Each structure stands twice: as C-alpha cells, then as structure tokens.
Amino acid sequence: MRLFTPEAMREADQKAVEMGYPSLLLMEWAGMKAARVYQELFGHRPAVVLAGKGNNGGDGLVLARHLHLAGVPVRVFAAEGQGGDALLARRALEAHGLEIRPLEEAIWNREEVLVDALFGTGLKGPLESFHAGLVERMNASGLPILALDLPSGLPFTPHAQATATVAFAAFKTPHLLHREACGRLFLADIGLPKVLLEREDLPEIATPEGLLPLLPKRPLTAHKGSVGRVGVLGGYRGEGLRYAGAPVLSALGAYRMGAGLVHLVAPEGSPLEPLEAVFHPVQVPALPSMRVEALAVGMGGGPWGREWALKALEARLPTVLDADALHLEVLEAYRKAGVPTVLTPHAGEAGRLLGMSPEEVAKDPLRAAQTLAERTGLTVVLKGNPTVVAQGSRLSVNPTGNPALATGGTGDVLSGVIAALLAAGLSPFDAARLGVYLHGLAGDLLAQERDVGLLAREVAEALPKARRALSESSIPPWRTV
C-alpha cells in the first residue's frame, strides 16, 4: 500500500477521469462509505454536516443525503459557491427537501455529531480567520467529529481534532504524520481503478499482508544455533551517565523476537541479565569470539560507543547501530566495509548526524530518513511518530505504535528485535520494517490495557503476542470500508 501526497491523489483522480471514469461516482462512493462509517460509530445520533465549497464539501453533501435516507436526523451548513460534482451533490440533496443553511450560521447542540467536510486535500495554506475560528469552535465543543478524508486544516495548525477520519481511496501523508489529529482511521475504497493506486515511486505503508511473508518460519528441526544468534555490545563503566540496563533490554528484545541465543558483551560489573544470555564481561570495548549471525551495538555505551562500533566492524556481520554508536565516522566505516547495517536514530540523533534540529527532522521525517540513508548508504530507521525506514530510494512508513512507547529503553528493545531478524537471515530493509512494525504492535496491544506507564521490558515481553497477532489475524491498524 502506498502513501499518497495530496498532489499524487489529484493526479490519480485526473487519470481516472481521462480513462472515462465519471468523477461523480467517486464522490458518491466517498459520501456513501463515510455515511456507513457514521452509522457504525454513532447509529442514529443526529448529525451536523459542515461543508466547504470544494469537493470535500461535496462528499459531505452526499453523506448528508445518505444519512437522511437512512433516517438519521441531519442539519447541513454549507459554504456558497460549489461547482462541478459538488454542485450536483448539493442539488441532489436539495431534491430530497433538506434545507442547506449558510456555513456562517453553523451552530450545534449537545446531542449532535459534527461531520467535518470543510477541506480535504485541496487546502493550500493555514486556515484563516473565519475557518480557523470555526474549527477551533468545533474542537472546543466536546462533540465527536467525523472528518471526511482529512481533518480540516491539516497539515497546518489550527486543524480539526477528529474522533475518526475516513480517508478516501488511499492514505495521504497527513494521515500518518498527524495521526493524533485523525482519531480512529478508516480507509474507504471509493471505486478508483486499482491501477491508479499502484505507484511504486511513492513511499510504502507497511501492511500486515506485506510483512507476513517476511516472518521467519521455525521448522520442527530448529535448534538454538539454527534460528539466529545475536551479539549485543553496549554499556559503559567510566564516569558519567550509565545506561547499564540498555544492553539487557536489547538482549530481551532479541530473545523475544526469536533469537536462539544472545551473547551479551558489556563492561565488567554490568547486571548479569537476562539469565538466558551468554555473558562476556570486558574491561574495554572489545569483540570476544562468539558464534553469532548479527550484532546490536551502542546501547548505553556513552563515550565507549564509538569504540564498540569500530570493534564490532571486525566481525563483518550484519549490524544494528544505535544510540552511542551513531557517529558519522562510524557510519562511513560501515559503508566502506559493505557490511549490511541498520541505524536506529531518534529525531535528536538524526538531527545531529544531518546538521539539523530535532524539530526540523520531526517535521518531515520521510525526507530526513531518506537524506540520511542516501548520505550514509546504510538502512535508516528514524524512530518517531511515525517511524520511517529508508534505504536508497525505498521508504516504508510504519503505522503501528502509540505514545505509550515514549518511555526509556523501548529503543534498546527495538535494536535487539531488528538484530534478531537480521540474524534470522532477513535483509536490512526487511528486518527493519518488520521489526519496527512488531515493536509498535506490541506497544499497541499493551496500550489496550494501559496507555501510560509501560516499561520497555514489557514491550519486549509482548513481542511474541504481536508476532502471533500478525501471523494469525493480520489486522491492519485501520478499518477498510
């Protein structure tokens, strides 16, 4: 599945029309499917439809007609000046005798649900005066908001804060970059010919169907040496901050992802955890001899991080570089050595490597991940909401995960997860996108019970459940209608 930009979506619409596909059908399906979602979520609770003058407003007018026909009480406030399909949608609604009042008069009461059909992909800049005020009033109302295609105002501020969003035909960049504004996500097939959605040049959204075939199988004859062994190198003993638990969490992530054996190389005096690991206490960053197929390096190494990473390179094994191992000089050495490498920076670390602020990175994570992948020649996992995986010109955006994962140590767990998948034989890009998806899904499963107060080790412990959820049900984190 591809992640569309508003421009790419417009191109698809235009091509459909050039193919002879009537655009009114797209609008009809969009409004009809959104009305279906409305009824699923709110039953017969009365609706207030707020419609702009463009095609997003047209979708809202179609929805109003379908709700009316289904016996749902509907009041409609619409901007003046529709043309094309939106005007036809307006006339069709009027033909059913529904009154359409000016948008300026929009009011609502406590029983109603707001349908946001003000702006979709056609928004050119931030909302101003009247529309900004309207959206702020909608948000302050405390009523549920069903957004059609996009919460109005995105990707700018202010924007509607939706309870649920029905995306038409495909997800667009703001759906994943501003997930928190969208509420529950629904994806509506509006009948757009499928060929128009096959755009290899656009970033992919990681989906369960796409990832399931990558999940390493465990044959009956499996033993601990055959399913992937991981070496974890990290931790620091000198002055300053000590993240003594970081390598332990990485080891837990690797085991819970299915590693057969984990070797833990850490400074003498480090915690001897987990009990299932093979310990190599060292005086200085060093690479002991161990039979492993992949490494995770740099969790909690502080000033030792660079040395850990350069030592690890001697093994010429697929490697995950995290945290304190993330230095340009290290990345250049890995690129030159041609070792399959995955880096897992967060926005702060990526910013440091790119010479940008963390805010700039977070604003356009797709571009930041791609730039870092191009500059280093390595596979990049840019952690955030959403996490983005980049390699060369390939980009994969991860739809799982939630703010509960924003807690110390979850990144360490992720490094072990990806290393376990590398050890099982996956390519860096596949190990990264599958690992990120399952790690986020583990967080989502835990967040069903509690949305704050997660511990990183619990995320590791939920990985087998996430793996099973992927292989047994393959449910994406949105609903298709």
Ligand X SMILES: NC(=O)C1=CN([C@@H]2O[C@H](COP(=O)(O)OP(=O)(O)OC[C@H]3O[C@@H](n4cnc5c(N)ncnc54)[C@H](O)[C@@H]3O)[C@@H](O)[C@H]2O)[C@H](O)CC1
What the block records as the tokens of 328 is 């340009």
> Which of 116, 149, 293, 324 is the binder for ligand X (CB under 6 A)?
149
Pairing relationship of beta strands 379-382 and 388-391 according to DSSP bridges? antiparallel
Q: Is 26 in the site for ligand X (CB under 6 A)?
A: yes
Binding mask 111-130 toward ligand X (x if CB under 6 A, else -) reads --------xxxxxxx-xx--
Single-letter residue type at 209: E
Contact criterion met (CB below 8 Å) for 46 and 209: no
> Which of 16, 48, 67, 148 is the binder for K ion (CB under 5 A)?
148
> Which of 13, 112, 116, 412 is the binder for ligand X (CB under 6 A)?
13
- DSSP letter at 195? G
The partner in contact with residue 13, picked from ligand X, K ion, none with C-beta cut-offs of 5 to 8 angstroms by kind, is ligand X
SS (H, E, C) 99-129: CEEEHHHCCCCCCCEEEEECCCCCCCCCCCH
Smallest distance, Å, CB 86 to ligand X? 7
Q: Which is nearer to ligand X, 17 or 475 (CB)?
A: 17
Contact criterion met (CB below 8 Å) for 177 and 203: no
Q: Which is nearer to ligand X, 62 or 312 (CB)?
A: 62
Q: Is 59 in the site for K ion (CB under 5 A)?
A: no
Q: Is 257 in the site for K ion (CB under 5 A)?
A: no
The answer to whether 102 is annotated as binding is no
Smallest distance, Å, CB 114 to K ion? 11
In the region spanning residues 168 to 207, those forming contacts with ligand X, defined by CB under 6 A, are 168-169, 192
The partner in contact with residue 152, picked from ligand X, K ion, none with C-beta cut-offs of 5 to 8 angstroms by kind, is K ion
Q: Which is nearer to ligand X, 26 or 421 (CB)?
A: 26
Q: Residue written as tokens 């399959």?
A: 340
Q: Which is nearer to K ion, 79 or 214 (CB)?
A: 79
The answer to whether 298 is annotated as binding is yes
The contacts of residue 181 (CB under 8 Å, 6+ apart) are: 151, 154, 159, 160, 161, 162, 174
Rg of the Cα trace of the chain?
25
In which order are the strands placed within the sheet that holds 294-299? 204-205, 394-397, 388-391, 379-382, 341-343, 319-321, 294-299, 229-234, 261-267, 278-282
Contact criterion met (CB below 8 Å) for 232 and 418: no
In angstroms, the CA 91 to CA 418 distance is 55
The partner in contact with residue 116, picked from ligand X, K ion, none with C-beta cut-offs of 5 to 8 angstroms by kind, is K ion
> Which of 56, 161, 371, 415 is the binder for ligand X (CB under 6 A)?
56
Q: Is the peptide bond before 158 cis (omega within 30 degrees of 0)?
A: yes
The partner in contact with residue 416, picked from K ion, ligand X, none with C-beta cut-offs of 5 to 8 angstroms by kind, is none
The contacts of residue 135 (CB under 8 Å, 6+ apart) are: 116, 118, 127, 152, 153, 158, 159, 160
SS (H, E, C) 304-333: HHHHHHHHHHHHCCCEEECHHHCCHHHHHH
The answer to whether 386 is annotated as binding is yes
* Distance from the Cα of residue 111 to its chain's centroid: 33
In angstroms, the CA 204 to CA 366 distance is 11
> Which of 152, 371, 385, 402 is the binder for K ion (CB under 5 A)?
152
Smallest distance, Å, CB 170 to K ion? 16
Q: For 412, phi and psi rounded to 5 degrees?
A: -65, -40
Q: Which is nearer to ligand X, 147 or 413 (CB)?
A: 147
With CB under 5 A as the rule, give the number of residues binding K ion. Answer: 4
The answer to whether 201 is annotated as binding is no
Smallest distance, Å, CB 186 to ligand X? 13
The answer to whether 58 is annotated as binding is yes
Of the candidate spans 109-117, 244-252, 395-403, 464-472, the one that interacts with K ion by CB under 5 A turns out to be 109-117
* Residues tagged in the binding site annotation for (6S)-NADPHX: 55-59, 120-126, 149, 246, 298, 346, 412
For K ion, the binding residues (CB under 5 A) are 116, 147-148, 152
* Residues tagged in the binding site annotation for AMP: 383-387, 411
For ligand X, the binding residues (CB under 6 A) are 9, 13, 26-27, 30, 52-59, 119-125, 127-128, 131, 148-149, 168-169, 192
* Residues tagged in the binding site annotation for K(+): 56, 116, 152
